[in-house]
Chains A and B, each alone.
Chain A
C-alpha cells in the first residue's frame, strides 16, 4: 500500500539556518504530494502541494519539488524563523482519492533565536 517516510525529528535549528526535511514515498501511479504544518494546539494547515512530476510547490519561503525518479518531496527553506517552529507532515493522495491522505510520521522543528 501507499506509504510516506519522513526524516525523524526532532530538528533544532538556529534562526536564519537552512532547513531540509526529507520525505520519500511509495505509491502506485502518480500521487499528489503535500506538506502540512501543525502548530501547537491547532489542526493541520496546508503549506504547499505538487500534483505532477517536476512540479515545485512553494509558500512562505518553503519549497518542495516532486521528484518521481527518486520518489521524494523534500521540504526546504533558506532561512528559518522562530515562528516556523511546528510539526511538519508530508502526505500523499492518490488520483481520484484526493480526500484520503496518507501521512508521514511528522517532523518536529524547533527554531531557536
Chain B
C-alpha cells in the first residue's frame, strides 16, 4: 500500500515569506503528526491532528500552524519565515487515536530559508 506522501520534497524560500507543506497519510490512518528535524535541535514534535482536531501541540511559536481535512490529509504552514526555520519537516501517520500504535513517517519536506 502507498506510504505517507509529503509534498513538496524540497523548497527554497526567503525570510519573511510563508510556506505550506502537505501530507497525505496512509489510507485508513486518521492521525497525522508533524516533526521538525534540524542538526542543532534534533527531532522535535510540532503538532498532531486526529479527525480534523489538533490534539497536541509542541513548543513552537504561533507562526507554525496546521490543519487536517476530512480525508485525513494535513497541511502545515509557517508564516514570516526565519533562517532558523530551515529544516526537514516530517509528517507521520498512525491508525488509531490511542495505544502504542506505530507512526509511519514520510520522506519529509526539506525547507531552506535564505
Q: A97 vs B58: C-alpha distance in the bound complex, in angstroms?
A: 12
Q: Is the CB of A106 within 8 A of B94?
A: no
Q: Is the CB of B100 within 8 A of A44?
A: no
A-B contact count (CB 8 A): 64
Q: A99 vs B74: C-alpha distance in the bound complex, in angstroms?
A: 15
**Which residue of the partner chain, among A41, A46, A100, A104, contacts B102 with CB atoms under 8 Å?**
A46
B40-87 with Cβ < 8 A to chain A? 42-45, 48, 50, 55-56, 58
The digit string for A58-73, where 1 denotes a CB below 8 A from any CB of B, is 0000000000000000
- B contact residues around A98 at 8 Å (CB): 94, 98-101, 103
A13-61 with Cβ < 8 A to chain B? 32, 36, 41-46, 49, 51
CB distance from B52 to the nearest CB of A (A): 15
A81 at the interface (CB under 8 A from B): no
Q: Is the CB of B98 within 8 A of A45?
A: no
Q: Is the CB of B43 within 8 A of A103?
A: yes
Q: A103 vs B38: C-alpha distance in the bound complex, in angstroms?
A: 12
CB distance from B95 to the nearest CB of A (A): 10
CB distance from B64 to the nearest CB of A (A): 15
Q: A13 vs B81: C-alpha distance in the bound complex, in angstroms?
A: 40
Range for the number of chain A residues in contact with chain B: 20 to 34
Q: Is the CB of A43 within 8 A of B107?
A: yes
- B contact residues around A102 at 8 Å (CB): 45
- A contact residues around B103 at 8 Å (CB): 44, 46, 98-99, 101
**Which residue of the partner chain, among B31, B43, B101, contacts A89 with CB atoms under 8 Å?**
B43
Q: Is the CB of B56 within 8 A of A44?
A: no
A113 at the interface (CB under 8 A from B): no
B24 at the interface (CB under 8 A from A): no
CB distance from A94 to the nearest CB of B (A): 10
- A contact residues around B100 at 8 Å (CB): 32, 49, 51, 93, 95, 98
**Which residue of the partner chain, among A41, A43, A46, contacts B90 with CB atoms under 8 Å?**
A43
Q: Is the CB of B48 within 8 A of A106?
A: no
